[in-house]
Each structure stands twice: as C-alpha cells, then as structure tokens.
C-alpha cells in the first residue's frame, strides 16, 4: 500500500483547501496536486508545489512584462526552438517540488543527479516502516552478457520462485532484527522494559537497500528534463524508469507545450557523433559501408545501426 489511511486523510484534507492566487497555474496539474501516484509496490510520487508554466518560459525568453498577447502557436514555436537548440535558461524559470517514496537502492541511483534540492527521511530520528520492495516475477532477470550494468533473460520457474522467497524472507528477518535491536516495534512501542535498545542511527545499518525511504525533491524544469531524458529512457533500470514515467506524465499536465517539445526533440530523438554523421551521409549517398570501414567502434556502430533499425552485419 503506497499510503496509509492516516496519510490518505491528510492528503484529502490538504486537497480540499482552496487558496486564491494571482499567479498563473496549470489547471491539469492542480487537479492532481498533493495526490499520491502509486509506483512499484509501496512507492509513490506527489507534487507538493510548483512555480511557473509554459508562459513563464516564454516570458523569460522574451523578457516581457506579463503573460503577453502572443498566440499559443507562436509560444509553441518559441519553446520548440528553445528545446531544439538547447537554450535552457528560460526553462530554469520553472520549478517543481515532489514528495517521493522509493526503495533505497533507487534513491542511491537517483541522488547522482546533483542538480536538485533534497531532504530525506531520517532513520536516525524516526523508525522506518516495514515496507520493502519485492520485484514481480517478470522483472527478475539474469545479468546481461553484453551490458555490464543491465539485465538479460528473465528467470523462470523454480529459480525465480527461489529468488522471490529469499528476497521476502531476508527482508522480513532483517526488519525483525531491526525492531529487536531498537527494542521497539514499528509503532514505537517498547518490546522489553528491561532493555535499552540500540541507537536508531546504528540499528538502521542492518536493513537491506530494498527498504523504502522518502524525500522531498525540488528541481527546476531544465534539470528535471535532463533527469527524465536519462531515466525515462528504455535503457534505464526498470525500478527508476517507472518513477520517471510517472513524473513525465506530471510534466505533461504542468507544461504541456514544453512536454511535447521534449518528447519530439529529446526523449524521442537520437544524437549522432561527427564521425557517425560522415557514415550516415555516405550511406544516404548509396555507399555500402561496414563497421571496419566506418572508423566507429563496435559499440557505436551497434548503437547507430540500432537507432536506424538496420541489421548488424
């Protein structure tokens, strides 16, 4: 369960409030503001606050005094130009703040993007919930033989069942020992009056990285789109990709014109190196060329051929 009954009540209470503002808002995003969007088995993504819309990007680019009188298609043309040519500073005028609940190993991968403001739940101060991520059967895969940081064939049958059992049992036992070391249960009740218990900052080190943590993550639109270009990509690890996909849908509600430009020129686009462009020009001219003749490495050649949906020879 992504949110508890108490958390659901808190979300409903804050969503019921109405606050007048002179600022331009994104109506579609307002509809889901504060709402917890489920991700994985216990995770979620929530928008807590945001500043700016597509109009703010246009306003910044034109340095105008207000929303302006330009037509929507003219604004779209400008935003398309900005995204296409990577003129990013106008996009930095928009910011958004998320509340995210995610497995610790996903958080450690996520935090490598050092362009956001982050405040994480403290296991020194509070007791972690008994919530840990267990993949679905179809996401249990062996190590890829080609990609040293990716997955290969999906595990099946008894082998997959054994892995799931280990993951569940090891996590449950780790949490049981965590509670015993704290001498407290998840509700904060003392287990044994005659024991003091280990400090929370020490007891937490027993928990595996599939346990859930939470944080507030505030970022400007330019850096958010860079994050999404990497993590919403089909090559990204599944467990972080599903968060990126949920956030991508929120970007569509927030800045729909910028979203369309991003999908067209960034996420749905491919970049080629200068040597690869030479190869492409020769191929377009009808010249047959092999990897050995191209001057490209085997890896880059494979990437180019895959992008062009051409057979590897």
**SS3 category, 34:** coil
Instruction: For residue 313, give the DSSP letter.
Output: -
Structure tokens at 122: 């403290």
Assess whether 231 carries a catalytic annotation. yes
- Rounded to 5 degrees, φ, ψ at 179 are -65, -40
E strand or H helix that includes residue 208:
none
Helices (H), 26-115: 27-32, 54-62, 72-84, 104-110
- Cα gap 134→275, rounded to integer Å: 44
Question: What are the Cα distances from residue 292, in Å, to 281, 296, 299, 304, 307?
Answer: 17, 8, 12, 14, 19
φ/ψ region of 270 (left if φ > 0, alpha if ψ in -120 to 50, else beta) reads beta
Question: What are the Cα distances from residue 262, in Å, to 14, 24, 151, 212, 220?
Answer: 31, 22, 27, 30, 15
Q: Single out the catalytic residue among 22, 231, 264, 302.
A: 231
Catalytic residue IDs: 231
């Amino acid at each position: 369960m992504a949110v508890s009954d108490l958390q659901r009540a808190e979300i409903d209470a804050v969503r019921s409030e109405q606050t007048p503002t002179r600022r331009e808002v994104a109506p579609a995003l307002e509809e889901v503001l504060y709402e917890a969007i489920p991700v994985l088995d216990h995770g979620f993504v929530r928008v807590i606050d945001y500043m700016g819309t597509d109009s703010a990007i246009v306003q910044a680019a034109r340095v105008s005094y207000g929303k302006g009188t330009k037509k929507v298609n003219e604004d779209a043309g400008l935003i398309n130009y900005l995204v296409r040519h990577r003129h990013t500073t106008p996009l930095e005028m928009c910011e958004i703040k998320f509340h995210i609940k995610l497995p610790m190993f996903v958080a450690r991968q996520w935090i490598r993007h050092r362009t956001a403001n982050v405040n994480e739940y403290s296991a020194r101060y509070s007791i972690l919930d008994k919530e840990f991520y267990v993949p679905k059967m179809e996401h249990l895969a062996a190590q890829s033989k080609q990609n040293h940081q990716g997955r290969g064939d999906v595990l099946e049958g008894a082998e997959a069942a054994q892995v799931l059992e280990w993951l569940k049992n090891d996590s449950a036992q780790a949490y049981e020992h965590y509670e015993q070391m704290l001498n407290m249960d998840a509700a904060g009740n003392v287990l044994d009056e005659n024991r003091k218990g280990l400090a929370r900052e020490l007891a937490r080190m027993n928990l595996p990285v599939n346990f859930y943590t939470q944080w507030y993550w505030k970022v400007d639109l330019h850096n958010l789109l860079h994050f999404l270009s990497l993590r919403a990509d089909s090559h990204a690890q599944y467990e972080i990709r599903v968060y990126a996909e949920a956030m991508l849908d929120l970007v569509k509600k927030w800045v729909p014109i910028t979203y369309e430009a991003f999908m067209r020129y960034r996420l749905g686009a491919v970049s080629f190196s200068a040597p690869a462009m030479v190869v492409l020009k020769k191929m377009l001219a009808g010249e047959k060329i092999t990897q050995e003749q191209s001057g490209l490495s085997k890896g880059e050649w494979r990437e180019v051929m895959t992008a062009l949906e051409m057979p590897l020879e």
